């Protein structure tokens, strides 16, 4: 019995730490993919390394019901890259902030920065669309509020999931000249503009179009409610690795806006 007890203690001492289970979309560059080429994959690697836990992915396409089927179902511990303070998750303090941008060809010299620019009534405009309901992207609502509809072309935010970069077509359409300007979520626009063979220009849209339609968002790590120890550990890593994370975002072309004082990436 003594021998068995000692053997049992030794086995306990050799127990591997639990995996850090991360939910991610397997085909959603520049954020994540199954080959772990996205910037959220790189941030997940930092978290797992600094928490001394092996990294394990739960792959699930980011569609409606994503939280219900992943984090809320305890299929994983973390969702990297969620809007701060979403109502159905606990979130860390933000580690970056970005916004929607106007994308155009450099050779057009459009330099549009406002939804009230009169040229938007004449130019062919691309916008990211979610559906035909009120959940559409803020730029789509901003244009519709101004009666700018007939010259707008929608590109589904989920894209064609059969291709390796389903969200890219809206930026590619600008590069080809199919549309004159596009309103795109900054991290996606920056990534594809950076690699475009046709030089593109991105300019941040106004920070909001009235109180109801913000155009800039704080981005955090999401998790189930009721796990304060994990949240504290993750925030410590985000704070410690803030400069490395900022560099990763820059490498992927993510437009970064200043974070408010007190957010993890702003703390010294």
pTM over 0.75: yes
Q: Return the minimum-mean-pLDDT range out of 12-21, 45-54, 179-188.
A: 12-21
Task: Specify the fold of 2-96+216-266.
Answer: D-Maltodextrin-Binding Protein; domain 2 (3.40.190)
Q: 261: pLDDT confidence band, cut at 50, 70 and 90?
A: low
Number of helical (H) and strand (E) elements in the chain, helices listed first: 8, 12
Mean pLDDT (whole number) for 41-46: 98
* Residue 129 vs residue 9, higher pLDDT: 129
The CATH number of domain 99-204, selected from 3.40.640.10, 3.30.70.100, 3.40.190.10, 3.50.50.60? 3.40.190.10
Structure confidence at residue 135 as a pLDDT band (50, 70, 90): low
Q: What is the pLDDT of residue 1?
A: 38
CB 217 within 8 A of CB 84: yes
Handedness of CA 97, 101, 105, 108 (dihedral sign): negative
**From residue 128, how far is each of 61, 154, 199, 202 by CA, in Å?**
18, 6, 21, 15
């Amino acid at each position: 019995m003594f021998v068995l007890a000692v053997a049992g203690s030794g086995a306990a001492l050799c127990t591997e730490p639990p995996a850090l289970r991360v939910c991610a979309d397997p085909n959603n560059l520049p954020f994540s993919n199954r080959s772990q080429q996205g910037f959220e994959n790189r941030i997940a690697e930092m978290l797992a390394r600094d928490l001394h836990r092996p990294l394990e992915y739960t792959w699930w396409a980011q569609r409606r019901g994503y939280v219900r089927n992943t984090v809320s179902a305890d299929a994983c511990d973390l969702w990297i890259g969620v809007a701060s303070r979403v109502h159905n998750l606990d979130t860390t303090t933000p580690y970056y902030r970005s916004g929607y941008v106007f994308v155009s060809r450099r050779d057009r010299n459009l330099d549009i920065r406002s939804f009230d620019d009169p040229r938007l009534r004449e130019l062919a405009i691309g916008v990211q669309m979610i559906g035909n309901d009120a959940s559409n992207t803020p730029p789509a609502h901003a244009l519709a509020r101004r009666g700018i509809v007939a010259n707008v072309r929608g590109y589904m935010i989920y894209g064609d999931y059969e291709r390796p970069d389903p969200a890219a077509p809206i930026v590619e359409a600008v590069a080809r000249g199919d549309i004159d300007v596009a309103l795109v979520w900054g991290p996606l626009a920056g990534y594809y503009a950076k690699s475009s063979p046709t030089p593109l220009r991105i300019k941040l849209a106004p920070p909001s179009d009235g109180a109801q339609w913000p155009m800039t968002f704080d981005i955090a790590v999401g998790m189930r409610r009721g796990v304060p120890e994990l949240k504290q550990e993750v925030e410590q890593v985000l704070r410690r690795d803030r400069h490395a994370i900022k560099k990763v975002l820059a490498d992927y072309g993510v437009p970064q806006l200043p974070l408010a004082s007190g957010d993890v990436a702003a703390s010294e």
